[in-house]
Amino acid sequence: MLLNEIQDYDKKYYMNTFGNRIPVAFSKGQGIHLWSTDGEKYTDFFSGIAVNSIGHSHATFVDMVSKQVSNLIHCSNLYYIESQALLAKELVQSSCADKIFFANSGAEANEGAIKLARVFFKKLGFPDKYEIITLQNSFHGRTITTLSATGQEKYGKPFEPLTKGFKKVPINDFIALKAAITENTCAIMLEPVQGESGVYPCDLEYLKNVKKLCDEKNLLLIFDEVQTGIGRTGKLFGYQRYNIEPDIFTLAKALGGGIPIGAVCAKDHVAGAFAPGEHGSTFGGNPLACTAGLAVMKIMRDERLPENAAKLGEYIKFKLEALASSSYPVISEIRAAGLMIAIELNKPIASIVKTKMFEKKYLIANIGDNILRILPPLIITQTDADEFITTLKSAIDEVL
């Protein structure tokens, strides 16, 4: 179809939740590139919001998923599922978790983590311990409850009243966090690196103190690793950057390589709080999604993609900081955790620069007027990084 036909159908038949989108539709992907319906080639430095971490149409992924499609896509969780059991084993053996539950998205995984934390204390005989402390500017999903946990009022305000039981405190402010704890607090839930608000990492000492506080106060520590998990930050899981183990962590995005899947990952003492019938999913953990997860985990391991993310993330950060200190003072700060990168600008031109990059056939994103957000596939090379930086310099030059 022609782009204008797709746009017409979208306007006529699709709920207007995304407004006027960027004027392109894609029909093919390979590696770090996408091709539009008009035949134009684009370089993808956004990875479908951190989903396509292995790139597009990876041969191993296509082979494993295609074989699964030809055999079995779905069956009920009333029956045992081979790929589900194998992916659960893979995740447990690769992490601090002992048990896994599969959902269909990051929001569902976070809902599961919230439910697990609450039922854990209820079964210990503390029904009033249900409050969860989260961080301001966090993002945990778009269901009513995960909106309630999210520390950005703009997302939840239209849907009030929200789910009660959530308090928000500033990131890296341990005093504020400690002061927010009451006899009703059951857990602290945070992203090791906040993504949606502009790539803000938690400080190491802060997280050490949070972990110690949770141990002292008998609270659960939940890490939302929907975006930081599966290699993005330079480690397979974001918590490994800090050498701090949460009681529960969640995954989604990159785990399925583009096929929807989410995971609640928990230590044994917490996971046992879920009894049969207390949580479930029709599609969660289906054969296709779990096979996709197995393919992604194999590629991550075989191609050492977390290590590549660490190396290339440091390289891009170094190059951008060098630009900022020389001829591009408009760049005020670079924040990075592996290939999770934010470029802070001291002029309100981020959306214009993003548009210029699009015109130059690069896909990136902006957060507000001052932040560019970069989430390239973890398969990028140093040459890819250099070409991106050269293109970014050209885009900034044209805007200033």
Q: Note whether 31 and 273 are within 8 A (CB).
A: no
pLDDT category of residue 213 using cuts at 50, 70 and 90:
very high
> pLDDT by residue (tens digit) across 32-76?
999 999 999 999 999 999 999 999 999 999 999 999 999 999 999
pLDDT category of residue 3 using cuts at 50, 70 and 90:
very high
How far apart (Å, rounded) are the C-alpha atoms in residues 175 and 122? 28
pLDDT recorded at residue 19: 94
pLDDT recorded at residue 225: 98
Amino acid identity of residue 40, one-letter, is: E
Pick the CATH number of 3-58+304-399 from 3.40.50.150, 3.20.20.70, 1.20.1630.10, 3.90.1150.10: 3.90.1150.10
Q: What is the mean pLDDT of residues 233-240?
A: 98
pLDDT recorded at residue 262: 98
Q: How many Cα atoms occupy the beta-carbon half-sphere of 169 within 13 Å?
A: 18
How far apart (Å, rounded) are the C-alpha atoms in residues 359 and 325? 27
Percent of the chain at pLDDT exceeding 90 = 100
Q: Note whether 52 and 258 are within 8 A (CB).
A: yes
What is the distance between the terminal CA atoms of the chain, rounded to a whole angstrom? Answer: 37
pLDDT category of residue 371 using cuts at 50, 70 and 90:
very high
Average pLDDT value for the chain: 98
pLDDT recorded at residue 152: 97
pLDDT recorded at residue 230: 98
pLDDT category of residue 366 using cuts at 50, 70 and 90:
very high
pLDDT recorded at residue 290: 98
Q: What is the mean pLDDT of residues 255-278?
A: 98
Q: What is the dihedral of CA 271, 273, 274, 275, to 10 degrees?
A: 130
Class of domain 72-302: alpha beta
* Peptide linkage before 348 cis (omega within 30 of 0): no
> pLDDT by residue (tens digit) across 280-329?
999 999 999 999 999 999 999 999 999 999 999 999 999 999 999 999 99
Extents of the domains making up the chain: 3-58+304-399, 72-302
pLDDT recorded at residue 241: 97
Q: What is the mean pLDDT of residues 239-260?
A: 98
pTM over 0.85: yes
pLDDT category of residue 96 using cuts at 50, 70 and 90:
very high
Percent of the chain at pLDDT exceeding 70 = 100
> pLDDT by residue (tens digit) across 77-90?
999 999 999 999 99
- HEC sequence for the chain: CCHHHHHHHHHHHCCCCCCCCCCCCEEEEEECEEEECCCCEEEECCHHHHCCCCCECCHHHHHHHHHHHHHCCCCCCCCCCHHHHHHHHHHHHHCCCCEEEEECCHHHHHHHHHHHHHHHHHHCCCCCCCEEEEECCCCCCCCHHHHHHCCCHHHHHHHCCCCCCEEEECCCCHHHHHHHCCCCEEEEEECCEECCCCCEECCHHHHHHHHHHHHHHCCEEEEECCCCCCCCCCCCCHHHHCCCCCCEEEECHHHHCCCCCEEEEECHHHHCCCCCCCCCCCCCCCHHHHHHHHHHHHHHHHCCHHHHHHHHHHHHHHHHHHHHHCCCCCEEEEEEECCEEEEEECCCCHHHHHHHHHHCCEECEEECCCEEEECCCCCCCHHHHHHHHHHHHHHHHHHC
How far apart (Å, rounded) are the C-alpha atoms in residues 116 and 145? 13
> pLDDT by residue (tens digit) across 130-153?
999 999 999 999 999 999 999 999
